[in-house]
Amino acid sequence: MGRMPEKRRRYFLKTKEAKTVLQKASDRLKTDITTFFKDRLDVEVFQTETDLIYLINGRPVLVEAGGVVYPTLKFDEYFSRAPRVVVDMGAVPYVCKGANVMAPGIRRIEGQFDKNDIVFVVDEKHGKPLALGEILYDANDAGNVKQGIVVKNLYHVGDDTWNLLKELTSMAH
């Protein structure tokens, strides 16, 4: 017996619902994300069994899991100004398998953030986003942590959400 096909739905949000989602995301990211999208704001939802992926003007830029809205690793406009944790190349394979970011693997931390804010995890060589996580310290303390978990990995390159985003991105072109 094969696996049951995953339930998926795709639909556009009404303006009011779209505003609510964008507001939720803006609050979480502490930046008005509507400024990244000129005049047009078509918000489409791709619903899976576990997540809601929001496509804005056809691009998958937000994901909602457990009632919380996060940027995707494809949200370039936000990524360019978001706080980030730069890890050494030794940490990369672990982060890409979903491991939390441990203090010894961190090369440097860039940007301003508070405890539990969303940060991107990037590799030191290419600066490419590997994962998105919740930082467990504020900007003043994070750099001084010598051991233990610094960033809780929420999702990463190669996980189910990432693969779905790749699929949706290729469908958009």
pLDDT, one tens digit per residue, over 101-113 is 999 999 999 999 9
* CATH class of the domain comprising 79-156: mainly beta
* Least reliable range by pLDDT among 1-10, 61-70, 147-156: 1-10
Pinpoint the residues of the chain covered by CATH 2.30.130.10.
79-156
% residues pLDDT > 90 (the chain): 77
Predicted local confidence at residue 40, as pLDDT: 83
Task: Please give the CATH topology (third level) of the domain spanning 9-77.
Answer: Nuclear Transport Factor 2; Chain: A, (3.10.450)
Compute the average pLDDT of residues 60-64: 94
Predicted local confidence at residue 67, as pLDDT: 84
CB neighbour burial string for 131-168, b if at least 16 within 10 angstroms, e if fewer: bbbbbbbebeebeebeeebbbebbbbbebebbebbeeb
Predicted local confidence at residue 114, as pLDDT: 97
Residue 131 has pLDDT above 80, yes or no: yes
Residue 39's CB: how many other CB atoms inside 10 A? Answer: 4
